[in-house]
Amino acid sequence: MSEEFEINETHSTFDFKGFLFKLLSYWPLFIISFAIAFGIAYYINVRKLPVYKMDNMISIKDDQNPFFTSNTSLTFNWGGTTDKVNTAIITLRSRSHNEKVVSRLQYFLNYLKDGKYQKIDAYKKTPFFIDVDTTQAQLLHKQLVVTFKDSVTFTLSGTFNEGSHQLQKYNTKEKIGRYFQENEFSRDFKFGDKIKLPFFSGTFLPNPEIAVVPGSKYYFSFSNFDGIVARYNGIRVDPESKGSSVIRLSLNGLNKARLVDYLNTSVAVLSEDMLERKNLFATKTIAFIDSSLTKKSIEVLAAENDLNSYKNKNAIYDLAMEGDELNEKLNSLDIRKEFIERELNYFNVLENYLVGKSDYRNVPAPSVAGISEGSVVSSVSRIVALAEERNRLQYSFKEGAPVFADIDRRIDAVKVVLLENINSSKGLKTQELASVNRDLGKWEGQIRKLPKEQQELLKIERRYNLSQGSYNLFLAKRSEAGLVKAANVSDVMVIDSAKDIGGGQVGPNTRLNNVMAAMFGFLVPFLFVFLIVFFDTKVHTMKDIERLSKIPILGVIGKSPMESNLAVLNKTKSSVAEAFRGIRSSLQFMYKKQGLEGSKTVLVTSSVSGEGKTFCSINIASVFALSEKRVILVGLDLRKPKIFGDFKINNDLGVVNYLINDKDLDGIIQKTQMPYLDVITSGPIPPNPSELLMNERMEMLIDELKGKYDYIILDTPPLGLVADSLELIKFADATIYMVRQNYTKKGMFSMINEKYKKGEVTNLSFVLNFFEDKSKYGYGYGYGYGYGYGYGVYGNGYHEDEKKPGFLERTMRFFKKRKR
């Protein structure tokens, strides 16, 4: 075996160039796919409702009350602006906050009207508003129709299917089931009528900005409250920059008016809630002082009545000078004692609260008791702030989350310090109270030296002055608390409110739809062609053969338009005849390279039946005979003889008769209509074809033929099906292995490669048969001596014009050709 024909292990590689040509050949499929994809994209784009984006901008300030002093400290600000910004962002995204907004705007009610392709959101675009009775159950997910008869009268209608339907009470969010009979409901109402039906309760109110058009039709329906809230939980809340106190809220939707109202109402609810929290201590202090004032006013009135009664009864209207001095000193001590006792009482209440409570948002404000000690005020403010933070985080985290453990730890740390300060302060106040009691005892001893009437009057006046002083103190505190509350403003400042100023459309993303259409329009046919190529197991091009085997290619035979196998004899100037002449030249070159003289043999085989062995054998024999060489065509396919039919000779006698010694050589040779060309058919089908071909008579036959003919063409059985051809290869000077375009399986090459590598087959070449140079099969090009002729590249001077058969004729020929 020559070095240039050495076979290495072949491996399949993807033919990118061939695949590209394959793609190009399916250009109509790509055009159809693109047309369908862009048609779908257009359909989606024109039917999709426009999507709008609205936003507003707020700032979270740190406004301190201008009346905030150590004496009027009723609220606390712990954490500064940064904490307030984070709190506001979390609050705006929280479920509870959005529940308030949805409830206030009644966004569980949907207004609809007919659009060009579908029903569209008609919020604030209807000539009416509906005041929903939230205490009554409303039917969910059922569109009710409102048709106006005139400017004040409308028809409310709806179709109900029999079965259980779900309703919801929006004040309690309770859902109930209710059974409805199948019926058509229709009833007339007027603006202002209180409508109460089993499926709807509310009042229709006119919209002064939109006039009623008689005959116009609108729709409304109710949605699940929690579902609507979940939809608006997706509101975007972002700081304008890192660490900034400016927050931007944005929301996408189908109705700009609905978006504007939601954004602005969300800010309004946040502002109200923050102001309410800011006023929390002032509100609770005012409530406490109001209850204390009620009690003190009763005490003052009782003491005043007792004083007036005593004076009238005893005709004493004034104390003596000495009594006035004692009264003044005792009043001062009494007020001091009451203040100390009030402080001690506050410390006791605060201590008991800290020890026995877990919710510290209601810790009493120190200012109520007049306590201004910095450590106590600071500690209480920190505990309250942490408690508020913990309460806010309950909307974002589940109980037991690590963030709650951290806050509880910080509260406990502050509480320990506060309890120590309370114990220290209580000790000091107890000592101060003991000192005041000693002074009171001293001065009360002086009173006992006065006349009895003076002593009793002094006692009543002391009680009256003490009640009046306490009353005046609480009254002053009440005034301070009211002043603080009135002066408080929300920490939310609106920079830009949401407003429809035109534009704002952000969808649908038609560009994205077009890109997706282009992608899928290309991808679908691309995958289709790729799968065709990937799962294609047949040979289509010369490149396929070269990729699958290192065995040389002798030539290419074009697709013959004739029914007969005698392509060369019937049309000697056809492209097919020229292709066989090229193969003849290639064979002569091979013989010359081998140094062969005298008679030469050609063996023609293939992988399976139907690949054109007989067609090639007949025409190779014919083309050698045209050069006036003595040629014999021997039919050695003993199982399936064919060649006799094309030459119109019989198959009664043939190779089988010679091999069984029934006839001599002259008795089996048959002449054809062509000079120089003789044929030996296979003869009767034997029961043991392989054994006959292995007979020594076969070698004798070849030797006798070499003595009489210049070229011996052996038409043999398929190598991939039977072993007969392997027994005959030893007689061949050149072996042609037929490969048929779109027919031969790629997997068959592994078998012939292995035999060629082991030396079982020598002087082997491929011939590609039934070839059509179509771009969908990749690309064709000249190779060796059998190429170039037969593709019209040399013009009509070399080939006869061949009229292309019609579709019907090609179909009929297709089935006949497969029998070759």
What Å distances lie between residue 617 and 133, 394, 630, 657, CA to CA? 98, 92, 15, 21
- Whole-number Å distance between alpha carbons of 231 and 108: 11
- Which residues on adjacent β-strands are paired with residue 113? 120
Beta-strand pair 144-148/153-160: antiparallel
Terminal-to-terminal C-alpha distance of the chain: 32
DSSP category for residue 54: E
What's the pLDDT score for residue 178? Answer: 92
What's the pLDDT score for residue 480? Answer: 67
Under 8 Å CB-to-CB from 631, ≥6 apart: which residues?
621, 624, 625, 676, 677, 678, 709, 710, 711, 712, 713
- Whole-number Å distance between alpha carbons of 687 and 677: 30
Report if pTM > 0.85: no
Task: With beta carbons less than 8 A apart as the criterion, state whether 778 and 532 touch.
Answer: no
- Whole-number Å distance between alpha carbons of 167 and 140: 5
What's the pLDDT score for residue 761? Answer: 85
Of 165, 196, 167, nearest in space to 182 by CA: 165
* Residue 687, preceding peptide bond in cis (omega within 30° of 0): no
Beta-strand pair 711-715/600-606: parallel
Residue 310 burial (10 A CB sphere; 0-12, 13-18, 19+): middle
CB hemisphere CA count around 222 (13 angstroms): 26
- Whole-number Å distance between alpha carbons of 787 and 558: 10
What's the pLDDT score for residue 312? Answer: 60
Per residue in 186-222, pLDDT (tens digit) is 999 999 999 999 999 999 999 999 999 999 999 999 9
Question: Which residues of the chain fall below pLDDT 70?
Answer: 1-15, 62-83, 280-289, 292-293, 296, 300, 303-304, 306-308, 310-331, 334, 357-365, 367-370, 372, 392, 394-398, 440, 442-474, 476-489, 774-820
Of 739, 753, 686, nearest in space to 542 by CA: 739
DSSP category for residue 140: B
What's the pLDDT score for residue 357? Answer: 65
Question: What would the 3-class secondary structure string for 124-139 be?
Answer: CCCCEEEEECCCCCEE
The residue written with tokens 């010359």 in the block is: 592
Domains and CATH numbers, the chain: 3-48+508-535 (no CATH), 109-223 (no CATH), 284-489 (no CATH), 567-795 (3.40.50.300)
- Whole-number Å distance between alpha carbons of 518 and 204: 50
Task: With beta carbons less than 8 A apart as the criterion, state whether 633 and 616 touch.
Answer: no
Per residue in 19-43, pLDDT (tens digit) is 888 888 889 999 999 999 999 988 8
What's the pLDDT score for residue 78? Answer: 41
Distance of CA 149 to the CA centre of its chain: 47
Residue 448 burial (10 A CB sphere; 0-12, 13-18, 19+): exposed
- Whole-number Å distance between alpha carbons of 372 and 410: 23
- Whole-number Å distance between alpha carbons of 753 and 755: 6
